[in-house]
């Protein structure tokens, strides 16, 4: 397996087939922040993104956010997301520790998890090394 190749690619997180992921046994969806949940350094999330995260929760997915960015805890995006979902800043992707830490917090093993992000050398490589199903959002 090529560790730098995502299992799937999508134009946006809106376009991912989450029902299919659920039927494949996936139960946790981990999202990158920059250029995945929002644009580059998003100041707030678009309403359709917030609605998607709500929908995933209703579908009984666990949702988590894993970003390498160092973000102040008073950043409004972080405050909103962290109030609802497990979230790790400075996650040091592709290192395993951040992925395993948030999955332990959620209580889901790597093989039942999906990582969605835009960067091959952090999001996709880190996920593939752990057997987390990887989906790349194309820039």
Minimum CB distance to Mg ion, residue 50 (Å): 18
d(CA 58, CA 44): 22
Minimum CB distance to Mg ion, residue 36 (Å): 5
Q: Is 92 in the site for Mg ion (CB under 5 A)?
A: no
Q: Is 50 in the site for Mg ion (CB under 5 A)?
A: no
Q: Is 125 in the site for Mg ion (CB under 5 A)?
A: no
**C-beta of residue 61 within 8 angstroms of C-beta of residue 18:** yes
Of 68 and 106, CB closest to Mg ion: 68
Pairing label, strands 113-117, 87-88: unpaired
d(CA 78, CA 94): 21
d(CA 60, CA 65): 16
Of 8 and 34, CB closest to Mg ion: 34
d(CA 121, CA 94): 7
Using CB under 5 A as the binding rule, the residues of this chain from 105 to 124 that contact Mg ion are 118
Using CB under 5 A as the binding rule, the residues of this chain from 14 to 33 that contact Mg ion are 32
Neighbour tally for 74: CB within 10 Å: 7
Q: Is 9 in the site for Mg ion (CB under 5 A)?
A: no
Q: How far apart are the first and last CA of the chain?
A: 23
Of 86 and 117, CB closest to Mg ion: 117
d(CA 31, CA 113): 11
Of 32 and 77, CB closest to Mg ion: 32
How many residues belong to the site for Mg ion (CB under 5 A)? 4
Of 32 and 133, CB closest to Mg ion: 32
Interface ranges with Mg ion (CB under 5 A)? 32, 34-35, 118
């Amino acid at each position: 397996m090529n560790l730098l190749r995502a299992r799937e690619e999508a134009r946006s997180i809106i376009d991912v087939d989450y029902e299919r992921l659920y039927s494949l046994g996936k139960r946790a969806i981990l999202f990158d922040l920059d250029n995945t949940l929002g644009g580059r350094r998003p100041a707030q999330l678009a309403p359709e993104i917030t609605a998607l995260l709500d929908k995933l929760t209703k579908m009984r997915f666990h949702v988590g956010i894993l970003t390498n960015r160092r973000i102040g805890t008073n950043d409004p995006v972080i405050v909103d997301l962290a109030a609802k979902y497990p979230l790790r800043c400075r996650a040091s992707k592709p290192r395993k520790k951040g992925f395993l830490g948030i999955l332990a917090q959620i209580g889901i093993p790597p093989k039942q998890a999906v990582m969605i992000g835009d960067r091959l050398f952090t999001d996709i490589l880190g996920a593939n090394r752990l057997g987390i199903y990887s989906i790349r959002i194309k820039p």
